[in-house]
Amino acid sequence: MQSFLARNKGVAILALLLAVGGGYYWTHRSAPAPDAGAANGARGGAGGGNRPQPVSVAVVQRADVPIWVSAVGTAVPRNLVTVRTRVDGQLMRVHFREGQMVKQGQLLAEVDPRPFQAQLDQANGQLARDAALLDNARLDLARYRDLWAKDSISRQQLDTQDALVRQYQGSVENDKAQVASARLQLEYASTIAPVSGRIGLRQVDPGNQIHAADANGIASIAQVQPMTVVFAIPESFLPGINQNRGELVVEAWDREQKIRLARGRLLSTDNQIDTSTDTIKLKAEFSNQDGVLFPNQFVNTRLLIGTRKDALVIPGAALLQGARGPFVYVADQDGKVASVQVTPGPVDGDRIAVDGPLQPGNRVVTDGTDKLRDGARVEIIDAATRARAAGGAGQKGGKGWGHKPSGAPGQKP
């Protein structure tokens, strides 16, 4: 029995040793040898070995850079008017198409005019009657004065007739006012456009009884030429706006900021700062002759508050972000690059003004920066060659640089 236990114990120990050895082998077995090219690439940086990294560069320039303040805004009609009838009655005809442009004074709708014509005729009849009575009273007054001069009547009779003339004069003046009121009511039966603009959807159909107190009215007119845009900017820019005595230029761009919709001027500022957001509302005006701005449309705005004179300018593609902050790679005459810390400033299109130890004429890398390190060797090529070398990958920033117009691409003239 003891020999049987000893033999089984030996087998168990042997099995345990084999299991531990197998686990160690599978967890510590050597990995395949790295590829020689990959090892060289790791040691030599981008491109592998001492092969230079192909890059595109741009030259640092000095130029005037406009200072733009960007914000989001909403297009607001210069005037928004609800067209209402000014008298009660049945709507007989509508003289506009929904959504059309209308001009101030244009006939829009008609209420049944017959009740108002009847009131005007009645007022004219009353005026004619009282005017005749006044004429007769004046003739009697003239005769009474002759008789009183001859001492044929008393003074009281003369004064009574004079008072009667003045009474009829008052009645005639009242009748004239009644005629003017009735004529005005008849004119109000025709509803005209109070302002020029784009008329909205009709709120009531012909045949309905309408009232001057109706909240919705007949339709609404939005004055869109000119159009205004309301936007908010941080209060820190307010001193710059107040110090600028000329007209400040404002541009409106589409939602993607690719197409400039309109160019206008700053119209006014709000009278107080919003303390919850530390911003102040501004209103800009655009002629909008092409109708590209629509009421309540979302737009991106750019306010020009000044110009930075003689600034160091680089393309935006050259600016990189590192652990120590923004920097650029500068290529020297020997084909080596070094990182230079810069402080970005105003942006204008694809240009950006920077502060730092750069000089006009320095070459900054605009494309191919993803694998660069300080001291790396580079081969300067144009963007088209680099795109072909990359197999048509279309890497970002391969267009070179220049002063692209602020409205490009796709801007309207």
Is the residue at 121 inside a domain?
A: yes
The pLDDT-based confidence of 116 (bands split at 50, 70, 90) is very high
Q: Which of 191, 219, 247 is the last residue of a domain?
A: 219
pLDDT reported for residue 339:
93
CA 83 to CA 370: how far, in whole Å? 62
Q: Residue 202's domain is classified under what CATH number? A: 2.40.50.100
Mean pLDDT score, 82-109: 95
Is the residue at 43 inside a domain?
A: no
Is the residue at 96 inside a domain?
A: yes
* Parent domain of 280: 58-76+222-389
CA 107 to CA 96: how far, in whole Å? 8
Is the residue at 324 inside a domain?
A: yes
How deeply is 150 buried, as exposed, middle or buried, from its count of CB atoms within 10 A (0-12, 13-18, 19+)? exposed
pLDDT reported for residue 409:
36
Do 162 and 102 share a domain, yes or no?
Answer: yes
Please determine, for residue 120, whether its predicted confidence score (pLDDT) is greater than 90.
yes
Do 150 and 62 share a domain, yes or no?
Answer: no
Do 242 and 385 share a domain, yes or no?
Answer: yes
How confident is the prediction for the chain on average, in pLDDT?
A: 84
35 vs 128, higher pLDDT: 128
Do 142 and 212 share a domain, yes or no?
Answer: yes
Do 233 and 212 share a domain, yes or no?
Answer: no
Is the residue at 42 inside a domain?
A: no
pLDDT reported for residue 25:
55
Strand partners, 265: 249, 285
- Residue among 9, 56, 51 nearest 385 (CA): 56
Mean pLDDT score, 315-326: 92
Which residue's entry shows tokens 């009575």? 133
The pLDDT-based confidence of 412 (bands split at 50, 70, 90) is very low
- pTM score of the predicted model: 0.65
Q: What percent of the chain has pLDDT over 90?
A: 66
pLDDT reported for residue 334:
87
Q: Which of 174, 192, 219 is the last residue of a domain?
A: 219
Do 260 and 215 share a domain, yes or no?
Answer: no
43 vs 179, higher pLDDT: 179
394 vs 97, higher pLDDT: 97
**pLDDT tens figures, 210-259:** 999 999 999 999 999 999 999 999 999 988 888 876 789 999 999 998 89
The pLDDT-based confidence of 46 (bands split at 50, 70, 90) is very low
Top mean pLDDT of 14-23, 195-204, 395-404 is at: 195-204
Is the residue at 296 inside a domain?
A: yes
Q: Which of 219, 250, 277 is the last residue of a domain?
A: 219
Is the residue at 109 inside a domain?
A: yes
Across 12-16, 144-148, 213-217, 357-361, least confident range: 12-16
Strand partners, 62: 312
Across 157-161, 224-228, 406-410, least confident range: 406-410
Do 237 and 267 share a domain, yes or no?
Answer: yes
Do 268 and 354 share a domain, yes or no?
Answer: yes
Please determine, for residue 408, whether its predicted confidence score (pLDDT) is greater than 50.
no
Please determine, for residue 273, whether its predicted confidence score (pLDDT) is greater than 60.
yes
Which residue's entry shows tokens 């004239």? 176
The pLDDT-based confidence of 22 (bands split at 50, 70, 90) is low
pLDDT reported for residue 57:
92
pLDDT reported for residue 232:
95
Do 192 and 340 share a domain, yes or no?
Answer: no
**pLDDT tens figures, 27-38:** 544 434 333 333
Is the residue at 401 inside a domain?
A: no
Do 328 and 208 share a domain, yes or no?
Answer: no
Across 31-40, 42-51, 106-115, 269-278, least confident range: 31-40
Please determine, for residue 360, whether its predicted confidence score (pLDDT) is greater than 70.
yes
204-221 in b/e burial notation, b at 16+ Cβ within 10 A? beeeeebeeebeebbbbb
Q: Residue 326's domain is classified under what CATH number? A: 2.40.30.170
The pLDDT-based confidence of 10 (bands split at 50, 70, 90) is low
Please determine, for residue 406, whether its predicted confidence score (pLDDT) is greater than 70.
no
Domain count, the chain: 2
Please determine, for residue 7, whether its predicted confidence score (pLDDT) is greater than 70.
no
Do 257 and 283 share a domain, yes or no?
Answer: yes
CA 253 to CA 410: how far, in whole Å? 11
176 vs 14, higher pLDDT: 176
- Residue among 200, 301, 303 nearest 257 (CA): 301
Do 295 and 175 share a domain, yes or no?
Answer: no
Across 198-202, 274-278, 381-385, least confident range: 381-385
